[in-house]
Chains A and B, each alone.
Chain A
Amino acid sequence: MIFLDNLINGLSLGSIYAIIALGYTMVYGIAKMLNFAHGDVIMVGAYIAFCGLQYWGIPPVFAFLLAMVVCTLLGITIEGLAYRPLRQATSLAVLITAIGMSYLLQNIALMIWGANPKSFPTTFINGASLHLGKINISSATLITILVSIVIMVLLTLFTSKTKLGKAMRCVSEDRGAAELMGINVNRTISLTFAIGSALAAIAGILLCSSYPILQPTTGSMPGIKAFTAAVFGGIGSIPGAMLGGVLLGIIEIFGKAYISTELGDAIVFAVLIIVLLFKPAGLLGKPMREKV
């Protein structure tokens, strides 16, 4: 029973990592950059939803939509202001800019919302938890898992069936060739940031519904973990991010439950290292081609 309980908790945590990892991986696939500010977009999304629910008293659905809209705009703005001028620059320069952006978002949040933690209101999902024999599954857990499945299906359909989605895959495959084929690269990259940031807003809401504490640093650690998950699954690969996220969540919970809570994070990272030694491009990543 305890095993099942842990498995479900791991799935729930992993689903959140997966949604965040999707944002990392899509941006990486297209813009070839590690967007370290992604974790902080999550935090902004959660704060907006919090304000909607707590201060403005708008219905949850609208609060969440608002959070997604704000994050989408934020994502596009960040990309346009900070990353676009560096399109030709080295990946490291972009990485540092992303880190600067992460600091910036955290400090702006500190100024707007203060340092005191907020408790994310979870009453809107006050559906009693599900009891299956001795297992309790909270409604937040159920919703998290369901939402992430829906997102994964939609995203897969979007990238494989729609024109825009195909354009995204095209740009990620070969930016130069895509441009020659008449694809507007800048717009496609903006679109990717928009989708990634909207996902970040959803991830922020789900994260705070399961773990309802909201601070300016809320996004940092889940961000790093999700980044790990994205690499674990093979960075740039959408199914890889999903798989990596879910596995990472399960490993984290099981490591804590059956080995040691003291070494919880060390176990996660150790598993990552071992996997990468045997699969150097991640679980589902394409092996790097060597061109001479």
Chain B
Amino acid sequence: MTKAKRKRLIYNLITFGLVIAAFLILQNMIATKSISRSLKGQLVPICSWIVMAVSLNLVIGFSGELSLGHAGFMSIGAYTGAIVSGWLLAAFDMQDTTLRLVLAIVAGGILAGIFGVLIGIPVLRLRGDYLAIVTLAFGEIIRNLVNVLYVGTADGKLQFSFLNKNLPENVTMLVDGAKGAVKIKPISTFTVGFVLIIITLIVVLNLVNSRAGRAIQATRDNRIAAESMGVSVTRYKMMAFVTAAVLAGMAGALYGLNSSTVVPTQFTFNQSINVLVFVVLGGLGNVLGSIISATFLTVLPEVLREFADYRMLVYAVVLILVMIFTNNPTTRAIANRLFAPIKNLFHGKHKESVGGGDAK
């Protein structure tokens, strides 16, 4: 076993170990009722945000493309999940909530993946900030379209309508335009969320450490060199982009089915930015970092509740300070010296070149 391989194995083991340990501790807390309502209510959203962050990290950290429309895929997943779950209940009277949830998540992932392919074909032809703005544009277009989408069920059949609500009177609305997905029966559970995280980790870590993964990272580090070695840049970038879209769709379905309603305004550009913040703060290409920062930043505003109206202000200040301290050469050198022993143990890949950083 080479040194690099061993390091990677340790890193992966620690990542899985921490996630599983956290799950077991939380499950124990739920069983013994020693968990606050507030924290318990956040568990499923945290799972969704972790999957979102890890999948976006695949695009940004490993593939090196800045995507600003990740929330768009999440919304596709959330809506698909709500529709599929509502339809399964109406058409087949499927009472098994776990099965329904799993089917909804799978459907959400598939549809988001299809959109990932459709969007990826034009997007991945572009570079750097142009690519970023086009993903932003797609995210906004998806939100705009979902806003005028109407879906209902009647006699177990799905009925769709676009722009105008031209549905017969007897349908039960599942998606009602600006009112969003309505009357969802919340069925998401923490356990399924945990399983989804584990699946995400297996997929992402395996992909990254596979031949394809090395090709993906090669296109990030030096597009021209990779191309001249015979690596098909578009193909591998597409692979990362679509995988991330599928995972985001699954996270979206989990997220959507955790609430009784989902609205298009939940998946704005700002939401994509939030996920981006998770990824950058956790470290590009650092999966464990994404998990920790997604958790931390989701819980932070809740912990800051006692600051009431100042908490978003505090959040902003914390964000700026953290970015400066982790990225300024002087402060970074100090931190490196302090954490050197720990860092040697973890050693995520800290290759950071993104947004037109290739071909320089």
Interaction A to B: yes
Residues A266 and B140 in contact, CB atoms below 8 Å apart = yes
Residues B60 and A86 in contact, CB atoms below 8 Å apart = no
Among the listed B66, B130, B316, which residue makes an inter-chain contact with A92, where contact means beta carbons less than 8 Å apart? B66
Q: Scan residues 87-104 of chain A and give those whose CB is less than 8 A from a CB of chain B.
A: 88-93, 95-97, 99-101, 103-104
Residues A262 and B163 in contact, CB atoms below 8 Å apart = yes
Assuming A231-B129, A290-B224, is B276 touching A96 (CB within 8 A)? yes
Q: Which A residues are in CB contact (< 8 Å) with B126? A: 276-277, 280
Residues A92 and B309 in contact, CB atoms below 8 Å apart = no
Q: What is the predominant secondary structure among interface residues of chain A facing chain B?
A: helix
Among the listed A100, A111, A228, which residue makes an inter-chain contact with B320, where contact means beta carbons less than 8 Å apart? A100
Q: Scan residues 142-201 of chain B and give those whose CB is less than 8 A from a CB of chain A.
A: 144-145, 147-148, 163
Residues B320 and A272 in contact, CB atoms below 8 Å apart = no
Residues A231 and B133 in contact, CB atoms below 8 Å apart = yes
What mask results when residues 129 to 143 of chain B are scored 1 for a CB within 8 Å of chain A, else 0? 110011011101100
From B24-32, B242-250, B351-359, give the one contacting chain A: B351-359
* Whole-angstrom CA separation of A180 from B136 in the bound complex: 38
Q: Does B74 contact A (CB under 8 A)?
A: no
Task: Number of A interface residues at 8 Å Cβ cutoff, please give it.
Answer: 46
Chain B contact patch, size range: 35 or more
Residues A281 and B354 in contact, CB atoms below 8 Å apart = no
Among the listed B128, B140, B145, which residue makes an inter-chain contact with A288, where contact means beta carbons less than 8 Å apart? B128
Assuming A96-B280, A228-B133, is B148 touching A107 (CB within 8 A)? no
Q: Which B residues are in CB contact (< 8 Å) with A110? A: 309
* Whole-angstrom CA separation of A85 from B316 in the bound complex: 17
Q: Which A residues are in CB contact (< 8 Å) with B145? A: 263, 266
What are 26 pairs between A and B in contact, CB < 8 Å? A28-B129, A82-B320, A82-B324, A90-B354, A91-B356, A92-B66, A95-B280, A96-B280, A97-B324, A99-B277, A103-B315, A108-B313, A111-B310, A224-B136, A228-B137, A231-B130, A235-B130, A262-B148, A266-B141, A269-B136, A269-B137, A269-B138, A277-B126, A280-B125, A288-B128, A288-B359
Which of B's residues lie within 8 Å of A, judged by CB? 60, 66, 122, 125-130, 133-134, 136-138, 140-141, 144-145, 147-148, 163, 224-225, 269, 273, 276-277, 280-281, 284, 309-310, 312-313, 315-317, 319-320, 323-324, 326-329, 352-357, 359-360
